[in-house]
Structure 1
Amino acid sequence: MKYVQILLTVFMLTLSTVSLAIDLHSAKDQGLVGETPNGYLASPVSAPSADIKALISDINAKRKQKYAQVAAKVAKPLSVVEQLAGKKAIEKTSKGHFIQFPDGQWVKK
């Protein structure tokens, strides 16, 4: 019986952690993440939560993989693709969401 209680407790903790996870759109709406000139996400918040750090890390890893594929396809350095992607992402950023200038300053678009 005690084993079942432990399993249920772990299961409930797992569910509560999953329910606390935030998606990219919500994080942008709340000002917790923004687009940077190098094509990746970062947080304008001085101490982002673990969920936000995980979200940024996951999305940036996926972006880097995609950028590397594009770079190989067009025979350009990864840095060129990253810069172009950053420019495009900043251009497409919705009003009220954060963007970062090359000098590191964050502003709401």
Structure 2
Amino acid sequence: MGATSNSVVQALFDRGGLKEMFDHARNAVVATIIVAAGLETADHVQPSLLVGMLNPLALGYVVAGVGCALIVLNFMDGLRKLTALRWRFAWQIALCIAYLFVSFRIVQVIVWSKTHAC
């Protein structure tokens, strides 16, 4: 048990794992904000505010699609880095589920806060 905890501490602090985690979390938050912005635009389009755009509804869905693509790329990068650590498969699955859950909840919170703003 001591060797495992020592290896985790080394991975986090000595080999830059903590910085990687924060970089990954930042990328995930930015991508989910892009998705939320696209969905918000698509749901609450006001043509008078977006003069000169051909189809603001379609543009909102394109932005949301780009955000989804960024989430998938960030997810794949995280999986690649997790497999390089050679952790147990169950731990990797748990982290994947947590990542998807947190990403979904961030989009929900951003959209909810936007719709309930005073």
TM range (shorter): 0.3 to 0.5
* Structure in which a larger fraction of residues adopt helix: 2
TM-score by length of 1: 0.35
TM-score (norm 2): 0.33
Task: Give 1 or 2: higher strand fraction.
Answer: 1
